[in-house]
Structure 1
Amino acid sequence: MKFSYKFSNLLGTVYKRGNVLFTPDGDSVMSPVGNKVTVFDLKNNKSETLPIEASMNITCIALSPDGYTFIVVNEDGEALLCSLISKTVLHRYHFHKNIHSIKFSPDGSKFAVTRDSKVLVFHAPGKTREYNPFVLDRIFYGPYDETTCLDWTDDSKAFCVGSKDMNTRVYGAEKFSNLIVYSIGGHNDVITGAYFEQNSLDLYTISENGRLNIWECDTELNGLKPCEANKGMISKVEIHSDDEEDNLEYEGEPKNEAKTVKMTKEDEAKLVDKILYKRTARHIYKDTCRKNAAFGRLTCTAFHKSTHILVSGFDDGVFYLHELPDFNLIHSLSISDQIISTVEFNKSGDWIAFGCAGLGQLLVWEWQSETYVLKQQGHFNNMNCVAYSPDGQNMVTGGDDGKVKVWSTTSGFCFVTFTEHLGGITGVIFNHNGHVILSSSLDGTVRAFDLNRYRNFRTFASPRPAQFSCLAIDHSGDVVCAGAQDTFEIFVWSMQTGRLLEILASHEGPVSCLSFSPSQSLLASGSWDKTVKLWDVFENKGAKETLTLSSDVLAVSFRPDGGELAVSTLNAQISFWDPVYATQVGSIEGRHDVGYTRKENERITAKTSSFGKAFNTICYSADGKCLLAGGRSKNVCIYSIADQMLIKKFEISCNMSFDGMEEFLDRKKMTEFGSLALVDTEEGKDISLPGVKKGDMSSRHWKPEVRVSCVKFSPTGRAWAATSTEGLLIYSLDSNLVFDPFDFDIDITPSNVKKTLAKGEYSTALMLSFRLNEQKLIQEVIEGIPVSSVEVILKNLPDTYIDKVLTFVATMIESSAHIEFYLIWASKLFMLHGPKLKQRSQKVMASLRSMQKNVTKKSDEIGKMCDHNKYSLQYIISMSKAKRKYSNIDTSANKHKDNDDNDDDDSGLDVVANDSDDDDIYKLVGNDSIDILQDEESTGSSDMETT
């Protein structure tokens, strides 16, 4: 088994914080999810999380106009220059301050960054050959408070910046004689958005209290004059806004102070040429949107210049669409009762993306048709459990928010959410055919959901209230079991009738885990009373065997063939037991593998803190040779059961925004009063109460702790999933990067394999290609074998190569366009070697599951395509019939007319010919009709000859 698992995708989290962006083609949305970036392809209905990680949560992103590079900035001010083509980090730069916004110029030559009260303009990376991609061009000063937003003109010669000092400033990106800096007031709150009109210096400014000002400039965009070389003495000149209202107090706003800049005498003489702004209109959202109603704070805006549409989001979940400059209300809609964090238009202006950080929600809305293009939302709280469907196509997750979500492993989207539970979800599982999902909850119910009709069709409850902490279903799908953490009992129900069959009461502590044996009717239950009990739920009422452990049991899992039981305990040990003889066959010490981590406010060392950590979840691989384990740390471990040793350790996150990431005490955070985390240095940052692990419990400042709550292997063995604080992480095998030859020899080269294939020695060429184990070479050899020789080759192929052919064919059915060709290989393979494959089914189980998944997927895709084309073909056939019918009527009428004129007696021949013409229509229907037509035509011709 290969262990080159790489990070593949992040599900369950679609948006955390920051701004969202559309790609230049408008078909994809880029959304920051923690310290990663996910790209949602709206055209192909797929999502992909880029393998790029920042050291902390991302706060803002910027995409270059060509769509090749983008910049992400995290909470600490660290910027990463990344390539969207290679999906790698090209350069790192540290601003050392919090960044509110970053944006490329329309021509792609520069990008501007708002940092504190300054604006930094850099040369865009990649335009010039320089060692340092971040080359600072100019620093612009002026604001008296933090800068909040910025926008560029269409020709990239000027930009405007909004600030918390309630002013908006227009800067020249280059040195102009008639524009250095122009300050505009008119607001009495923080500037939320400032936008230039298309191909103009006219300006729109929006403040947080819902006021919009429209400013008209007396200079055209091409009227900016480049500054000549400075000559003469330097003098100080005061520049005031031309608008009288800007220099007066407005609703409590202080007067704008004069700006003092250094200018030459020649520039002083040209003061009359300076650009001037004048306010032409002023609008208030409250007056035009919702009169006499409570109005929220404006949190985000976006303006599409070509269509003149302004979208505004508020902290009460309401957004408005206005047409500028008349400020006509187009539409208003409420997404939720949470704050809308960001909005963005696509290139054409048809789609609007909304991000809601409070709910972790991402929406793409088409405002003209008033329909959702994308509507995705992750779990509101922690994600607790995950399960794969038997074919590996779907995954189900449960969270503390009481929701059960089903995700597609192919697209990465959630396609159904069940909200019937009233408490946190503790366990989810599929039945044996994958059409039913069962979930257990702390609300005292176990619910069954139908994936065909998307409804809760059965609810299992206990005679007295109980909080269910774990769930299991037998391999036949007839018996459902759930363990209670408060009554210490196990409840057994019938899946068919929903009746309670049995209550298993023998544990003396909370039941923490359940697992059914795949091969026999044996149930294993683990408890905090340091025992694992084996039950025969069909025959005996009492416990069949009791396994005594040295510590509290946290997780149990049966091997896929049912021949072994793995048990994880609180002392970080994993022990292996024979369920038939109830004897221990091995153990693994995982204390050092869990990882040494310390929380930010802990006063003990990481090594001391690790004594309270253990593996809370374990899972066998598809072949049963390896074990996957995770717990209260950032590490997930894969163990070899035969060798009882660690094979590989995965660090699921490097996000320092989470608690429990550091191993050593950071001396930079130490003060004379102790650790900075334990000192109330800023307003709103209090010390959390002892024992608080999640939620906002008397603490305004809370950092989530990194942990892994559940791990599962895919039935295909090609991937595994882990539910963590970040979301649902998917790790999969990348076979293209692994060189794994089989019975390798010095004479086995690609050229020799191709020569053997050219000679017609197909069996030898096939075996040589598998020994070299190169994907493209194997594909070339198999596709070069004639279909007529497939059966003979497979009949004489050794068993070792049969397994490899099965795995390869299962993979190619998913990606190749030659579906029928590979299905012939699969059919012949199962017909000839079916009994042998059944005998070693556990060994090839991963390949069989992969084959089932890919064949089912292709069947569904082709079925949908046929259903879509069926009506088009019916329409074409009906139109062809009608057209042929009218043409035959005209032809028949003309022939009869000619026959009457000539007084011929061969009208019967005309009738026969017309009938055969009518029958030609049915040639479009199928081969059977064509055969019938041929018979009729031959009969007709013989009749003609006889006549």
Structure 2
Amino acid sequence: MKFKRFLLRYYPPGITLEYVKSGNLRTKSIDLLDLSPETNPDQLVAKIRQLEPLITESRADQVKQLILRLQQKQGQQDHQRFFLTKVLQAHLLPLTNVAFNKSGSSFITGSYDRTCRIWDTVSGTELHTLEGHKNVVYAIAFNNPYGDKIATGSFDRTCKLWSAETGKCFYTFRGHMAEIMCVAFNPQSTLIATGSMDTTAKLWDVETGVDLATLTGHTAEVIALSFNTLGNQIVTGSFDHTVSLWDVASGSRIHTLIGHQGEIANVQMNWDCSLIISGSLDNTCKLWEAASGKCVATLTGPKEEVLDVCFNLTGQLIATAFADGTACVYSAATHQCLVMLEGHKGEISKICFSSQGNRVLTASSDKTARLWDVKSGVCLQVLEGHTDEIFSCAFNYESDTIITGSKDNTCRIWC
């Protein structure tokens, strides 16, 4: 093996090594999920050197400098206040979803008007309208971190793959027998997964457009799915009250996670692929061990339906959104509720962490989005102005820009 160079990853903190083996350029990541400004860099370098033979004594100081840069980034104080910069009359009918590309330079919106639109974040200019679906465009996704392709899933039972640069449609994926509810790219951008009301999920080849596998086993609608960070597993959540973990290569089911008493609202795996979080309309979230499929904790909050759930990027925190307008932040290690987020006057349909993990963003039917401090639970800001419920919101990668999408047919950019 011949070492080439180091690449720094700020969120979640880590160092990627580029090296050549058998003539091929390869990478491996050193995740530093527990890194904090208080971590002793010399001790951490020594620990890394024990585990990674590519980190020789001559490269130790360079690794230390990278760790110090990560700690400096972590130590920066986030006092940003967001201001409304653009109101986009985005669609003729209500929006369904919004999503940023990795850099945050552009974002996409899906709508009941059967289109997806690509927007320039800084200017608010519409770059392309993706037309061709014959029903609601419900699910949308960029192939981050690359950001050059977009997948759209529609109630017309098809998924389409588009060029983010030209707006050209590469493929229309046909095979589902009912509405498509969710789409996702794998991290390598070689596969698209779709989940449908026909009770199945499918895997599609990005390069050829071929239907590679149908994931069968659920007995009701598949409404949520996501790949793990390695791309070798995918987790699905269904209205049949269960979560399934699948092997991507074979399309076979690894585990069926049984325990919820209501429909699943969302599912996600943490960064190191060890845990799965599921939120359900049975008023609970459950934390599952990916290796064994066992439930390790049931997270309870208000006696209300859980409408969304997510990990922060390091996988150390979990946020849940409830139908009564409250939200909770939990420790993934202790399973304890750290703070309650209270202030919304209507149900919270979407919740997400900033990349740094110190802020939470919520979108509500009360026509507002709110920004919260994770440690104190204090509401830092109320993003007001929409005239109907907000059901989608997102941070960009640097978390210095927010987009909100509403039933009022508009999208708002906050910087």
Q: Same fold (TM over 0.5)?
A: yes
Cα deviation for residue 480 of structure 1 reads: 1.4
For residue 299 of structure 2, the aligned residue among 536, 547, 559 is 547
Aligned-partner SS, 2:286:
strand
Structure 2, unpaired ranges of 5+: 1-77, 94-109
Q: Is the 8 A contact 1:388 1:712 kept in 2?
A: no
* Alignment partner, residue 172 of structure 1: none
For residue 285 of structure 2, the aligned residue among 532, 537, 556 is 532
Counterparts in 2 of 1:682-701, with a 5 A limit? none
Corresponding letter in the other structure for 1:510: E
Q: Is the 8 A contact 1:423 1:443 kept in 2?
A: yes
Residue 578 in structure 1 maps to residue 311 in structure 2 = no
Return closer, same or farther for 1:548/1:50 CA change in 2, 3 Å cut-off: closer
Counterparts in 2 of 1:479-490, with a 5 A limit? 479-485=233-239, 487-490=240-243
Q: Is the 8 A contact 1:8 1:732 kept in 2?
A: no
For residue 564 of structure 1, the aligned residue among 291, 299, 317 is 317
Residue 467 in structure 1 maps to residue 221 in structure 2 = yes
Q: Which protein is bigger by CA-based radius of gyration?
A: 1
* Distance of 2:199 and 2:150 partners within structure 1: 24
Q: Is the 8 A contact 1:48 1:412 kept in 2?
A: no
For residue 342 of structure 2, the aligned residue among 557, 575, 589 is 589
Q: Is the 8 A contact 2:344 2:364 kept in 1?
A: no
Deviations 1:42-70 (A, max 9, x none): xxxx8779989xxxxxxxxxxxxxxxxxx
* Distance of 2:306 and 2:392 partners within structure 1: 15
* Alignment partner, residue 335 of structure 1: none
* Distance of 1:615 and 1:444 partners within structure 2: 26
Cα deviation for residue 571 of structure 1 reads: 1.3
* Distance of 1:635 and 1:408 partners within structure 2: 32
Cα deviation for residue 721 of structure 1 reads: 4.6
* Distance of 1:437 and 1:564 partners within structure 2: 27
Aligned-partner SS, 1:447:
strand
Deviations 1:646-703 (A, max 9, x none): 33444574xxxxxxx4xxxxxxxxxxxxxxxxxxxxxxxxxxxxxxxxxxxxxxxxxx
Corresponding letter in the other structure for 2:199: G
* Alignment partner, residue 712 of structure 1: 394
Corresponding letter in the other structure for 1:439: T
* Distance of 2:175 and 2:408 partners within structure 1: 25
For residue 362 of structure 2, the aligned residue among 615, 619, 629 is 629
Cα deviation for residue 504 of structure 1 reads: 1.4
Return closer, same or farther for 1:484/1:547 CA change in 2, 3 Å cut-off: same
Q: Is the 8 A contact 1:8 1:49 kept in 2?
A: no
Counterparts in 2 of 1:256-655, with a 5 A limit? 376-377=130-131, 380-391=134-145, 393=147, 394-406=149-161, 416-462=171-217, 465-485=219-239, 487-539=240-292, 541-550=293-302, 551-592=304-345, 613-651=346-384, 653=386
* Distance of 1:649 and 1:411 partners within structure 2: 36
Q: Is the 8 A contact 1:614 1:631 kept in 2?
A: yes
Q: Is the 8 A contact 1:383 1:727 kept in 2?
A: no
Cα deviation for residue 425 of structure 1 reads: 2.6
Q: Which has the higher helix share?
A: 1
* Distance of 1:473 and 1:387 partners within structure 2: 13
* Distance of 2:164 and 2:382 partners within structure 1: 24
Cα deviation for residue 476 of structure 1 reads: 1.4
Q: Is the 8 A contact 1:483 1:512 kept in 2?
A: yes
* Distance of 1:711 and 1:407 partners within structure 2: 22
Cα deviation for residue 419 of structure 1 reads: 4.2
Counterparts in 2 of 1:673-752, with a 5 A limit? 706-717=388-399, 719-725=401-407, 729=411, 731=413, 733=415
Return closer, same or farther for 1:568/1:436 CA change in 2, 3 Å cut-off: same
- Which structure has the higher relative contact order (CA within 8 Å, separation 6+)? 2
Corresponding letter in the other structure for 2:85: K
Corresponding letter in the other structure for 2:375: A
Deviations 1:792-826 (A, max 9, x none): xxxxxxxxxxxxxxxxxxxxxxxxxxxxxxxxxxx
* Distance of 2:186 and 2:210 partners within structure 1: 15
Cα deviation for residue 509 of structure 1 reads: 1.2
* Distance of 1:412 and 1:713 partners within structure 2: 23
Q: Which has the higher strand share?
A: 2
For residue 7 of structure 1, the aligned residue among 79, 86, 102 is 86
Return closer, same or farther for 1:640/1:414 CA change in 2, 3 Å cut-off: farther
Alignment RMSD: 3.6
Aligned-partner SS, 2:183:
strand
* Distance of 1:420 and 1:444 partners within structure 2: 13
Aligned-partner SS, 1:591:
coil
Aligned-partner SS, 2:314:
coil
Counterparts in 2 of 1:648-663, with a 5 A limit? 648-651=381-384, 653=386, 661=387
Structure 1, unpaired ranges of 5+: 17-32, 41-45, 53-86, 88-373, 593-612, 654-660, 662-705, 734-947
* Distance of 2:402 and 2:159 partners within structure 1: 20
Counterparts in 2 of 1:763-912, with a 5 A limit? none
Percent of aligned pairs with the same amino acid: 22
Cα deviation for residue 633 of structure 1 reads: 4.7
Cα deviation for residue 542 of structure 1 reads: 2.6
Q: Is the 8 A contact 2:325 2:364 kept in 1?
A: no
* Distance of 1:379 and 1:638 partners within structure 2: 34
Return closer, same or farther for 1:417/1:642 CA change in 2, 3 Å cut-off: farther
Deviations 1:462-487 (A, max 9, x none): 1x6321122122221122121221x2
Aligned-partner SS, 1:568:
strand
Cα deviation for residue 585 of structure 1 reads: 0.8
Deviations 1:6-57 (A, max 9, x none): 338677x5x77xxxxxxxxxxxxxxxx99xxx9x9xxxxx8779989xxxxx
